Structure 1
Amino acid sequence: MEHTTPIRTRPGLTALLAFTLSLTCFGQVGNAAEDIGSTPGMTYQSNDAIFAGETDDPYRLALRAYIWGYPLVKAAAIRMAHTNPDDPYVERAQPSAAGPLNTLNHSRELFGPEFRNGVGVNHDTLYSFGWFDLEDEAWVLEAPDFGDRYYTFSIYNADSSSADTIGQRTHGSQLPTVLIHGPLYDGPVPDDMLAIGIATRYLNFAGRILTSGTEEDYRIVHSLQDRIRMRPLDSYLAGKPAPASVPDQTRLSAGVESASHYLQLYAQLGNVLRDWIPAAEEQSLLRSFEEIGLSAQAFHIEGLENATLDAMKRAARDASELIARRSRDLGSNHNGWTINYLGSRFGTDYLLRAAVARDQIYVTVPEEAIYPITRLDANGEPLHGDQHYRISLPADALPPVKGFWSITLYNDSGYLVENPIGRYTIGDRTPGLVSGDDGTIDIRIQRDAPDTSAVNWLPAPAGEFYLMMRLYIPERAILEREWLPPPVMPVDHTEE
C-alpha cells in the first residue's frame, strides 16, 4: 500500500515516538512478576560458547535467537519510530531528523536534554538521517563540496552493522556519486559511481556534519544538508526527483500483545524475519530457530510445549543479562573505560553486536571514530552527582585525532542533562577551554558550580551518570591502543 498523505502537525510526536520505542525495545526483561525459575550459573557466558555447534535444546536455541535477534528488533523499532508508517507525513519537531521511509531528513539544531527519542546522542554534529527500502531498487547518493568542514556518512545494515562509512576521511571535501544497492541487486553500476552493497533489505543512512552550534554556523550547515540528495537510480538517470509515494512496512508490533512479557522479543523478531534476507552464514542458524516457533513467516507460539515455552522465558531473561554484562565489557577496559575497537564490524560476534546495540547502536567504524564509555571512577565506584571528579589531559597526551574529540555526559538513562550553563559536552572546540601553565587540560565533573570560572566544568546530574568520549578520525596511537583515556579521578569536595 502506498501512502501519499499531506503533511500535517501532531503535537507531542517526539514523546509518542520515544514511548513507542521504549515499549518495543526492552533492554532488560527481569522486572516482570512472572516466576520463571532459575538457570543456575548461566552455563553459556561467551559468544563462542553460546553459538558453537548444533543443538536442539530449546533453552540454548532461544538464547541464541534472543541475542542474535536483539539488534534486529531494536533497529526495526527505531525505523518504526522514525518513519512512523501509520502516519508517515506527520510533521516532526526539531531537532528530530525523522521522516517517512525513503526520505532523507535533517536535524537543524544540536540535540539537547529535551530529546528523548534515542540515547547517547552527540552534541557535536547535525544529523542527516533516513531509512531506505532496497527491495526493488538501488539508490543514488549525491553530496556537495564540504570544503574543510568535517563530515561523515555512515551506511548501516538493518542488523546495526556497518556496510561502509565515507566522508572527509575517505574522500576529502567532495564525495563521488554513490550507488547503494541491496543483496538482490543485479543491475549495472555506472562507471562514474562508487558502489556500496548492503546485506539487508533496509538500510539506515546517518550523516554527521560538524557544527559550532552558533546561528551563523547553523545556516552554513543547513545549506550543505539541503544539497545532500538520495533518489532511486531510475530517477537519477531520468533527471527526476525521488517518487513521493511511501512503501508500506511490516509492523513490528503485529501479534506481540498476545505474547507474554518474556516472549515479546521473539514475537517481534518473527515480524522482522518476514522481510529478512539471510546471509549465507545465518541460514543454518535461522533454520534451527524453527524448533522454537521462529520462522520467516512469524513467531508461532501455538503448538509449542509448556516446557519449551518455559525454557524460552528463562533464555530471554538470561540473554538480557548477558547483553547487559557485555555492554560493560566491549572488548577492552582501561582506566575504567570500556572500549570497542571493532566499532560496528561485528562479524559473527552476535553477543558484541547485541551489547553495542543496547547502549551505542549505530556507532561507526573504528577508523572513523572510537567511543570509550565509562560509568566508573578510578576506584571502580559508579559515577554519581554527589561526588566531584577530574579528568586530566596533559599537553603531550591530548587525544591524537585528525577530526575532533569530545566528552559527553549522560544521565543513567542515556539522556543529556539540563544544567545552568547549557553545556552537555566538552572537547577541543569548546569556547574558553582553560589550560594550566604546563598545558594540561583539567575537566571538572560535578553537580554544583565550581568556586571559580577558571575551570572546565562539565555539569553532572543528581544521580548516577556515564561519560562517552568521541574520538573522530583517530590516529594510529588510538587504534593500536598506545593512547588510552585517562581515569576519572574522585576529588575531595573541599579541593579548589
Structure 2
Amino acid sequence: MKIFNSLNIYCLAGCMLLSACSQANNSNSVKTEKVFDEQRSLNTSLPVNNHISQMTPEYVESVARIAYIWGWPLVNMHNRHQVFSQVPVQGLLGGVMPVAPVNYLTILPKYADPEQKDVAHPNQDVFYGFGITNLDKSPVVLQVPNFGERFWMYGLMNQRTDAFGELGKMYGTQPGFYLLAGPNWKGDVPEGINKVIYSETSINAVIPRVFVEDEKDDQNKVQSYINQIAMYPLSEYNGHMKTTVWRELPVLPEQNKTDKEKGWVNPEKFFDQLPAVLKEVKPLQGEEVMYSMINQVLDAAKSNEEYRKILQRTAVNMEKSAIDSLFYFNNVGVEVENHWTRPFNNGAFGLDYLTRTAIAKSNIFTNHFRETTYFYQYRDKDGTRLDGSKHSYTITFKKGELPPVDGFWSLTMYDENHFFCSNDIKRYSLGTKSKNLKYNDDGSLTLYIQKESPSEELKNNWLPAPDGIFAVTLRCYAPENSIIEGKWCPPAVITKK
C-alpha cells in the first residue's frame, strides 16, 4: 500500500487513539489501573457550558480532513438511499440496473451488462439483485428459495459498508423467511420467520447473488429460483412465498449516462449532508471523541461563513488529493505475490477507515472476507501496466493449483473505469462457470488475455481485453483458509513475447 502525504493527518490521529487504548489495556496492576482511571476522569471533562476554545482555520481544516476520509462511504450510502427513495416501482434502470423503492429489491434476471454504471466492478458469474432499506420505517422480510446445490448468498451491507447477516449456502442457510430489523426494533416476530437479523444502521444495501453458468439452459433454469427472491416490509408478510417474474419487469429510463461510476458523493455538498449521516450512524466504540470533534466544527460552521468555506474547500481538495487516488486497485489493501493486491478485511472494516474508503471508491459492496476474497491486478510479472493495445498476456494455473474455494472462482476483465468493456462474444470473465475450458497436456490451465481472438482451439480460454489499459480481478467465493490467511496467491500475469 502506498502512503499518501495527504493522509498523514488522520493516520496520525488514528495512531494516537490506538496508542492511548493500548496504554490503557496494558496496565500492569489493578492499583495502577485505578490511578489511571482517576486521571482519566479528571482529564476528560467536557467544556463548561459548552464553551470551547476558539477554533483556528487550521484546526477546522484538520478536522474536516479526518471527517472526509471517515465519512465518504457513509455519505455515499446516504445518497444512494436518497435516490432509491424516489424510485416509483421495481424495474431495470436503462434495462441494466435493478432498482426498487426503499425496502424492496429487484433481481437482474441476466448477467450484468457493460452499460451498467451504478455500481463499479460487477462480475459475470452471478445474477444480481439490489435493494436499499430504511429500517426506521419498517423491518423487512427476506425470502430465501430452495436453491438446492447451487451456490448463492445474500450480501447485507450496513451504512458503514460492513457486511453482516451470514445468509448463504456456505452458512447452511435454510430456505424460508428471515426478518431484517433495525437496532431499536422491539416488535413481535411473526410465526414462520426463521431468524431475526439485526442491523446497526437503518440504511443497508441488500444484494442477492446467485451463481449461474454460461450455458443458456442454466440461465433459464435459474429463473424459477430467483423469481422467489424478495424483500418487502413486514406488514406484507403472510407466511407464503411471493413470486415475481423478473424477466417481465418494466425498463425505466436512464437519465444519467456516463463512462465512469455515477458520482454518489458530491464534495461541495458533503458537509451539508454529514450532520444527517452522523445521526443515522451511531459511533462505534472508540469513535465518540471523533464524533464530538466533527459535530463541534459543524455546529461552529453554522454561524461562521469562513468555516463553511473552509469545509467546502477542504472537501473538494480531499476528493482530488486523497479519494481519487484510492480508486486505483494498487492502492487498495496490500500487495502480495506477483503484484496482486488484496484487502484482508473487506466487509469487516471496523475502524480501518482507509481500506473502507478505498473499497467504497474502487469497488463498493464487497462481501465479508470469509465469503469472498478479491485479488486485483494492474501489472504483468515485470511490473508493467497491463495494456491490451500493446501486448497479449497469459495466466497459467499449475495442475492442482486452481483457486482453493468451496464456492466458485473467476477471473474478470475491467476497463480503466472498473466496468466491463464490450466485446463481440460478450465474455467478461472465465472460471468455474466456464465448462468448456481447455486444459494443457500436463493438467495446467492457461487463460489467454488479449484483444484479438487466439486460435480456434484456444478460444474457450480467451478473456477479451480492451484496446487500452485494463485491470483483472480474481474472485474467490467461499475461499478456503489458505486464501483467507494469505498462504495461496494467484500466479503472475505473463506478457507474451
On whether the aligned pair clears a TM of 0.5, the verdict is yes
Deviation at 1:270, TM superposition (A): 4.1
Tell whether the 8 Å contact from 1:120 to 1:415 is kept in structure 2 after alignment. Answer: yes
Which residue does 1:418 correspond to in 2?
422
Match runs of 1:95-114 below 5 Å: 95-114=96-115
Helix, strand or coil for the counterpart of 2:414? strand
Match runs of 1:40-439 below 5 Å: 41-42=5-6, 44=8, 47=11, 49-50=13-14, 52-53=16-17, 57-81=59-83, 83=84, 85=86, 87=88, 92-171=93-172, 174-189=174-189, 193-236=194-237, 263-273=268-278, 275-293=280-298, 302=305, 304=307, 314-320=317-323, 323-324=326-327, 328-385=331-388, 386-439=390-443
- Cα deviation 1:73-103 (Å, max 9, x = unaligned): 222333444x261655676343321111111
Match runs of 1:470-485 below 5 Å: 470-485=475-490
Code of the aligned partner of 2:185: Y
Which residue does 1:457 correspond to in 2?
462
Deviation at 1:268, TM superposition (A): 3.9
CA distance in 1, matches of 2:219, 2:190: 35
RMSD over aligned CA atoms reads: 3.2
CA distance in 2, matches of 1:106, 1:308: 39
Tell whether the 8 Å contact from 1:266 to 1:294 is kept in structure 2 after alignment. Answer: no
CA distance in 2, matches of 1:308, 1:235: 44
Deviation at 1:373, TM superposition (A): 0.7
Helix, strand or coil for the counterpart of 1:454? helix
CA distance in 2, matches of 1:300, 1:127: 46
Indicate how the Cα distance of structure 1 residues 220 and 321 shifts in structure 2: closer, same or farther if over 3 A, else same.
closer
CA distance in 2, matches of 1:118, 1:324: 13
Helix, strand or coil for the counterpart of 2:400? helix
Which residue does 1:32 correspond to in 2?
none
Indicate how the Cα distance of structure 1 residues 444 and 116 shifts in structure 2: closer, same or farther if over 3 A, else same.
same
Indicate how the Cα distance of structure 1 residues 477 and 60 shifts in structure 2: closer, same or farther if over 3 A, else same.
same
Unaligned runs of 5+ in 1: 1-39, 243-260
Tell me the TM-score normalized by structure 2: 0.78
Indicate how the Cα distance of structure 1 residues 404 and 240 shifts in structure 2: closer, same or farther if over 3 A, else same.
closer
Helix, strand or coil for the counterpart of 1:397? coil
Indicate how the Cα distance of structure 1 residues 234 and 428 shifts in structure 2: closer, same or farther if over 3 A, else same.
closer
Indicate how the Cα distance of structure 1 residues 459 and 238 shifts in structure 2: closer, same or farther if over 3 A, else same.
closer
Deviation at 1:353, TM superposition (A): 0.5
Count the aligned residue pairs: 432
Deviation at 1:276, TM superposition (A): 4.0
Helix, strand or coil for the counterpart of 2:474? strand
Tell whether the 8 Å contact from 2:130 to 2:206 is kept in structure 1 after alignment. Answer: yes
CA distance in 2, matches of 1:459, 1:400: 25
Specify the structure having the higher radius of gyration (Cα): 2
- Cα deviation 1:382-436 (Å, max 9, x = unaligned): 1111111110101121111111110000000111111122211011221420111
Tell whether the 8 Å contact from 1:369 to 1:474 is kept in structure 2 after alignment. Answer: yes
CA distance in 1, matches of 2:340, 2:224: 37
Indicate how the Cα distance of structure 1 residues 60 and 219 shifts in structure 2: closer, same or farther if over 3 A, else same.
same
Indicate how the Cα distance of structure 1 residues 177 and 149 shifts in structure 2: closer, same or farther if over 3 A, else same.
same
Helix, strand or coil for the counterpart of 1:335? helix
Deviation at 1:360, TM superposition (A): 1.6
Tell whether the 8 Å contact from 1:167 to 1:175 is kept in structure 2 after alignment. Answer: no
Helix, strand or coil for the counterpart of 2:98? coil
Helix, strand or coil for the counterpart of 1:65? helix
CA distance in 2, matches of 1:74, 1:314: 18
- Cα deviation 1:359-384 (Å, max 9, x = unaligned): 12111012211111111111111111
Tell whether the 8 Å contact from 1:59 to 1:314 is kept in structure 2 after alignment. Answer: no
Tell whether the 8 Å contact from 2:103 to 2:140 is kept in structure 1 after alignment. Answer: no
Indicate how the Cα distance of structure 1 residues 378 and 224 shifts in structure 2: closer, same or farther if over 3 A, else same.
same
Tell me the TM-score normalized by structure 1: 0.78
- Cα deviation 1:292-326 (Å, max 9, x = unaligned): 3269xx98774627666655654454432563478
Tell whether the 8 Å contact from 1:399 to 1:405 is kept in structure 2 after alignment. Answer: yes
Match runs of 1:28-43 below 5 Å: 41-42=5-6
Tell whether the 8 Å contact from 1:109 to 1:218 is kept in structure 2 after alignment. Answer: yes
Unaligned runs of 5+ in 2: 21-52, 244-265
Tell whether the 8 Å contact from 2:88 to 2:100 is kept in structure 1 after alignment. Answer: no
Code of the aligned partner of 2:471: Y
Helix, strand or coil for the counterpart of 1:422? coil
- Cα deviation 1:92-119 (Å, max 9, x = unaligned): 3433211111112110110122222321
Code of the aligned partner of 1:75: M
- Cα deviation 1:209-264 (Å, max 9, x = unaligned): 1112444323332211221233333443687989xxxxxxxxxxxxxxxxxx8543
- Cα deviation 1:313-371 (Å, max 9, x = unaligned): 54454432563478624034221111112121001111111011111211101221111
Code of the aligned partner of 1:141: L
Code of the aligned partner of 1:396: G
CA distance in 2, matches of 1:447, 1:347: 41
Indicate how the Cα distance of structure 1 residues 124 and 310 shifts in structure 2: closer, same or farther if over 3 A, else same.
closer
- Greater share of helix residues, 1 or 2? 2
CA distance in 1, matches of 2:235, 2:401: 51
Code of the aligned partner of 1:372: F
Helix, strand or coil for the counterpart of 1:304? helix
Code of the aligned partner of 2:124: H
